[in-house]
Amino acid sequence: MEKYNFSDQREATALQNFRRTAQSMGHEFDFLFREGIPEIPRYDAVFIRATTDPLFTSYVVSKTAWELGKRVIDDPESIQICGNKIHLYDLFERHDVPHIPTMFLNKEDLHHKRLVEVFETLGKPIVVKAPYTSFSKYVEKVACETSFRDVAKRYFRKSDMLAVQTFMPTAFDWRVGVLNRRTLYVCKYMIPKGRWKHGAKRRGKPTFVWGRTVALKTENAPSKLKEVALKACDVIGHGLYGVDIKEFNGSYVVVEVNDNPSIYAGYEDSRNTDLYGKIIEYLVD
């Protein structure tokens, strides 16, 4: 865990729900922070609730637990794949997972001829994504070559590649929670009015505005939606994932698969209250 996991009351409540559920099932459940890393060998399983990335401490925790033979959510391979959108979309292409039309660019592609090709192929505007995007950060919409160069130069400081995608405006993104190749919960992440993604930065301020979350019972969600979500997770692994999907012209396309998906009390769990028990069960299995 990181301390910021407790800064939002709904996430803090969800974490207490995990603890209460585990204890009611006869297990011990402790919150470990960064200082607790040396304690990992004492536990049977590790459930990471922090921003994951192969460069962050959370990956060290995951890999350490994995190497010690523990059950771990998120496992290191899932962090490696989901934490890098180039890896993710490369796998989607390879395994025919329906996803938003995507092109990969490297630094040498940042010239007029190539950028004209990109706009001709994907249309205008396009979405530029840094491989390490999470929580709607490092994703920007651009409609001209000048803006594209500005964004790309920033993202290329850290990564030698980036992804560009067709812009698909929708009123909401589906979020399908998947655990061990089964649907765990389904939500609609609404796009705030006048914005184009679920979490958007307020103009001139460091804070974000988030759209509403509308939960559905999993059995009431379209079966084709669940099928696409499961197919996307199949190419990654069998951990816990949050699959973002757009419904566009009657078909479903995967936006991305996230490891360590948000679980906030009253949001993701509101129509699927058993998700806590299912996750604990998977951890101790």
Cβ atoms within 10 Å, residue 261: 22
Cβ atoms within 10 Å, residue 270: 16
**CA–CA separation, 126 and 192 (whole Å):** 19
Name the DSSP class of 46.
E
Stretch that binds other proteins, among 29-37, 44-52, 184-192, 241-249 (CB under 8 A): 29-37
**CA–CA separation, 254 and 169 (whole Å):** 14
Per CB under 8 A, does 177 bind other proteins?
no
Packing angle, helices 9-24 and 275-284, rounded to 10: 60
Q: In angstroms, what is the minimal distance from the CB of 274 to other proteins? A: 34
**CA–CA separation, 278 and 270 (whole Å):** 15
Question: Within the chain, how many helices (H) and strands (E) appear?
Answer: 8, 13
Per CB under 8 A, does 4 bind other proteins?
no
How far is the CA of 190 from the CAs of 55, 193, 215, 257, in angstroms? 30, 9, 11, 17
| Interface residue with other proteins, options 8, 30, 67, 219 (CB under 8 A) | 67
Q: Which residues contact 274 (CB under 8 A, 6 or more apart)?
A: none
**Residue nearer to other proteins on the CB measure, 94 or 113:** 94
**Residue nearer to other proteins on the CB measure, 38 or 204:** 38
| Interface residue with other proteins, options 10, 19, 27, 63 (CB under 8 A) | 63
Which residue is associated with the tokens 């771990």? Answer: 72
Per CB under 8 A, does 161 bind other proteins?
yes
Per CB under 8 A, does 34 bind other proteins?
yes
Per CB under 8 A, does 159 bind other proteins?
yes
Catalogue the E-assigned strands of 97-212: 102-106, 126-129, 139-142, 161-166, 172-179, 182-190, 199-201, 208-210
Per CB under 8 A, does 35 bind other proteins?
yes
Per CB under 8 A, does 3 bind other proteins?
no
Q: Which of residues 128-157 bind other proteins (CB under 8 A)?
A: 131-132
Name the DSSP class of 99.
B
| Interface residue with other proteins, options 13, 57, 136, 270 (CB under 8 A) | 57
**Residue nearer to other proteins on the CB measure, 94 or 205:** 94
Stretch that binds other proteins, among 16-24, 48-56, 212-220, 222-230 (CB under 8 A): 48-56
Per CB under 8 A, does 90 bind other proteins?
yes
**Residue nearer to other proteins on the CB measure, 26 or 38:** 38
**Residue nearer to other proteins on the CB measure, 105 or 225:** 105
**CA–CA separation, 180 and 233 (whole Å):** 9
Binding site for other proteins (CB under 8 A): 34-35, 37-38, 53-57, 59-60, 63-64, 67, 76-77, 80, 84, 86-87, 90-91, 94, 106, 131-132, 158-161
